[in-house]
Structure 1
Amino acid sequence: MKNVLKLLITIAIFYYLFQYIDFYALITVLSKSHGGDILIALVFQMGSTYLAAYRWRAISKLLVFDEPLSFYVNSYFKGSFFNQVLPSSIGGDAVRVLDLTSHGYDKKEAFYGVFVDRVVGLVGLLVLNLFSTIFFFGTFKDSFSYLIILISLAGISGFTLLFFLNKIHFLQHYKFLNLFYRLANRLNSLYKNKTILLKHIGISVGVHLLTLMAIFAIALSIDVKLDFQIFLIAIPPVFLLMIVPLSLAGWGIREGAMVGILMLVYEDKTKILAISILYGLLLIISALPGSYFWIKGISKKTKKIG
């Protein structure tokens, strides 16, 4: 039922977009995209996934999870496959937790590892967006730039505050607030050395830079020659909006947000929509190795049972 609702929301958003965008003009733009640039974008996107898997491994090592990098890369691609390709109730993060528990690790510890990986990834996105907006201030209207700076600072401040919540002991007595209390304890135990935290955030910045380079290459593939700094400022808010799971794999939300934001500096909404659609298709293609790792894992379990 939840996936049906997401599908309806996705269809509704695209229906709204196509009230203002010529469908046949969009098809023409998509058909004329340059394969070489898209191939470069695919390399950047897969590199982003690989680097994200490396970050997850680095965080997991703090939890004393002893698995090779190949395990985390395989699991991350599997998670991407479930997120982007399969309309399943099992999300990519759940797949990663299940992979760890199948190797004998505690379910709660596995959850914390994946959750911290997500949070550190989000902070990296906010840091990148904050510094890009400040450094290239004036690229967008001041009001939009100040909004981005405010949102980024609020998110980073909220993350910083998490480290102090374990000192507010009454939080542990309330069911909902206890989650934040336990998370604060876990973060403080993992990141006693704040240099390690900064390193992990730096890796996250690299992950998002590779993703933005992929989108930039896609833009070039349809002859949209915008400065890279525009993508540094405009795309992270799109990713933030996609965190809310309202549509299937972010389809519709991504397109609507990208058109709405990039039209502040670029008038051709058809080409903006084409960038977003091509990126969505690129995500599906880049996640396909996960299907191989998933089927391979099922085959191994079948052989063990047999």
Structure 2
Amino acid sequence: MNRLPTLKRVLSVGQLLIAPILVVLVWRAVDGRAALRLIASADGGWLLAAVAALTVQTWLSAQRWRFTATRLGQVLPFRRAVGEYYLAQFLNQTLPGGMGGDASRAYRARQSGGLLTSSQAVIFERVAGQAMLVIAMVVGLGWVAITHHGAILPTWTLGLVAVTGAVAAVVCVALRLAPALPGRLGRAGANLHRALGQAFGGRHAVTAQLLLSIGTTACNLLAFAFCARATGTALAPSAVMALVPLILLAMLIPASVSGWGFREGAAAALFPLAGASASAGLAASVAFGLVFLASVLPGALILYGGRTPLPVGIPEGRGRL
């Protein structure tokens, strides 16, 4: 008897349950009623600004994916990239684990270059975005540590920076040494090393990847800051740089739906460092989650409205960058 499908169903149900359980726990740990009042009185203008920022973030992310795919030899028109990215984000926001949309994006783009190449393009694109978010966090923490402006951070943040740097160093060394491994591991390492060189090698590629990743990260940080402002908390730029990346990185924990619960817990814990209340952090995080879901609703139209983008590689203007 194959128990793997049953295990997957159990894990999925568990992830669906974890999100509301964590939100309720955070609600009870802080002043949930105060958070609800802040959400109910949220400023619509700032929420619309957050939607706009997340919309630009989606377009820039789609362009980053298109650029990476093109470097790896895929043909991916911009219109197709945007449509697939909206669909992937909608699935990531609504399915347990937060990665189903990316898997779907890689699978649906496999016609040009094969599944391995399309998977590499999706993975490299996501890693580039998360790496820039980590860089923003390190820069923000360093800024606060040097200037003591906006918020005084606890000593554990220095340990976080040290661990982040150590992990980054280990990954770089592993990628460098992987081609020298024997057998299949060495061949896989060499193929990965070559693909990374294609996607990120050269001045033009580095510049484009950096600018696109800076743009997507800035949009994410601004969107959360706008949601905080909408619910009554004006975060200083130093707090946005230092604290918001930590809150957003909590969404990467694949144990709930789109990071719900973990993000709220992180926001409630970190907002007091910026001179705000834990309930204000909860309100800002819930507002951000709802705004994010609203911003990716075009993906639902693609999924349920019968619109299927043209397969990758079908001439629609071969769109060179």
Aligned to 1:166: 178
Change (3 A) 1:88 1:160: closer
Aligned to 1:251: 260
Deviates more, 1:17-26 or 1:222-231: 17-26
Amino acid at match of 1:83: N
Deviates more, 1:92-101 or 1:191-200: 191-200
Structure 1 residue 125: Cα displacement? 1.3
Give the match's secondary structure for 1:246.
coil
Q: Please give the per-residue CA displacement for 1:119-178, whole angstroms capped at 9, x wherever unaligned.
A: 1112211222222222332343251441342244234424533541334223x545xx87
Q: Is the Cα–Cα contact under 8 Å of residues 83 and 249 in structure 1 kept in the other structure?
A: yes
Aligned to 1:304: none
1:113-262 superposed matches below 5 A: 113-137=121-145, 138=148, 139-141=151-153, 143-170=155-182, 172-173=183-184, 182-193=191-202, 196-262=205-271
Q: Is the Cα–Cα contact under 8 Å of residues 242 and 253 in structure 1 kept in the other structure?
A: yes
Aligned to 1:50: 59
Amino acid at match of 1:211: N
What's the % identity of the aligned pairs? 23
Q: Please give the per-residue CA displacement for 1:160-198, whole angstroms capped at 9, x wherever unaligned.
A: 33541334223x545xx8765543332134334255235
Change (3 A) 1:195 1:131: farther
Number of residue pairs aligned between Structure 1 and Structure 2: 297
Give the match's secondary structure for 1:33.
coil
Change (3 A) 1:228 1:253: same
Aligned to 2:289: 280
Structure 1 residue 88: Cα displacement? 8.8
Q: Is the Cα–Cα contact under 8 Å of residues 59 and 117 in structure 1 kept in the other structure?
A: yes
Change (3 A) 1:241 1:222: closer
Matches of 1:143 and 1:181, distance apart in 2: 40
Change (3 A) 1:241 1:211: same
Q: TM-score, normalised by structure 1?
A: 0.87
Q: Among residues 105, 116, 136, which one is paired with 1:108 in the alignment? A: 116
Q: Is the Cα–Cα contact under 8 Å of residues 133 and 145 in structure 1 kept in the other structure?
A: yes
Q: Is the Cα–Cα contact under 8 Å of residues 259 and 272 in structure 1 kept in the other structure?
A: yes
Aligned to 2:4: none
Amino acid at match of 1:127: I
Aligned to 2:307: 297
Q: Among residues 92, 95, 105, which one is paired with 1:83 in the alignment? A: 92
Task: Give the gaps of 5 or more residues in structure 2.
Answer: 1-9, 312-321
Q: Please give the per-residue CA displacement for 1:219-278, whole angstroms capped at 9, x wherever unaligned.
A: 111221220220211121223332220111110011011111222233411111000000
Structure 1 residue 100: Cα displacement? 0.6
Structure 1 residue 19: Cα displacement? 2.3
1:69 equivalenced with 2:78 (yes/no): yes
Deviates more, 1:75-84 or 1:90-99: 90-99
Q: Is the Cα–Cα contact under 8 Å of residues 72 and 195 in structure 2 kept in the other structure?
A: no
Task: Give the gaps of 5 or more residues in structure 1.
Answer: 302-306
Matches of 2:229 and 2:292, distance apart in 1: 17
Structure 1 residue 71: Cα displacement? 0.9
Change (3 A) 1:15 1:223: closer
Aligned to 2:45: 36
Aligned to 2:317: none
Change (3 A) 1:100 1:254: same
Q: Is the Cα–Cα contact under 8 Å of residues 58 and 85 in structure 2 kept in the other structure?
A: yes
Cα RMSD of the aligned pairs, angstroms, is 2.6
Matches of 1:145 and 1:8, distance apart in 2: 30
Matches of 1:159 and 1:120, distance apart in 2: 14
